[in-house]
Amino acid sequence: MANSSALLREHNITWWKQLIASGLFTGLSPVASGTVASAVATLFYFIPGLANPWVMLAMGGAAFFVGLWLAGPCEEAIGDDPSFVTIDEFAGQWITLASPLILGQPNWQWAVICFFTFRAFDIAKLWPASYFDRRRGPLGIMADDIVAGIYANIASHIIWYGLSFAGLVTKFLEG
């Protein structure tokens, strides 16, 4: 990343822009930067007051629009869909975590389900995520994760209710 960092600075991408675009520098992870970014984004859910679905949606939306602003210059500096840019994982993970059905205190079981479903949909790239993933530019970088977040949110609710129906969520909460 040393060379990339210099390239980013040459393109007027200061350290604080790098901090944001890289999802608190999770994009520097030498292995699975997207998974690391999703895990860090999930931790935000446990900050008091952030487990609110409207807050999670607002954070996901804000990350999306800030990502649109920063992803293009990063792509110009270091190449197509750079793994350094992980703000898209933050946006998608926060959209996945937004649930009007899981209210009150943060629920670790919900967070685990959301984390794994988002990672699965982010990797699978189901249409229209695959369409956006093939596109260059900021929208191509950001939109596939938004689609994955929407799919993962829906799937997480289905999984949650399936486990609840089977009585497994209750067992997790008790034990």
Q: Which residues contact 57 (CB under 8 A, 6 or more apart)?
A: 94, 95, 98
pLDDT per residue as tens digits for the range 58-93:
999 999 999 999 988 878 878 676 778 899 999 999
Angstrom CA distances, 46 to 75, 97, 105, 117, stand at 32, 11, 8, 18
pLDDT digits (tens, 9 = 90+) for 125-142: 989 978 888 888 899 989
Contact 149, 93 (CB under 8 A): yes
Q: What is the pLDDT of residue 41?
A: 97
Question: What are the structural domain ranges in the chain?
Answer: 2-174
Please state whether the predicted TM-score (pTM) of the whole model is above 0.85. yes
Burial letters 6-17, b for 16+ CB under 10 A, else e: ebbeeeebeeeb
Identify the sign of the CA torsion 115, 117, 120, 121. negative
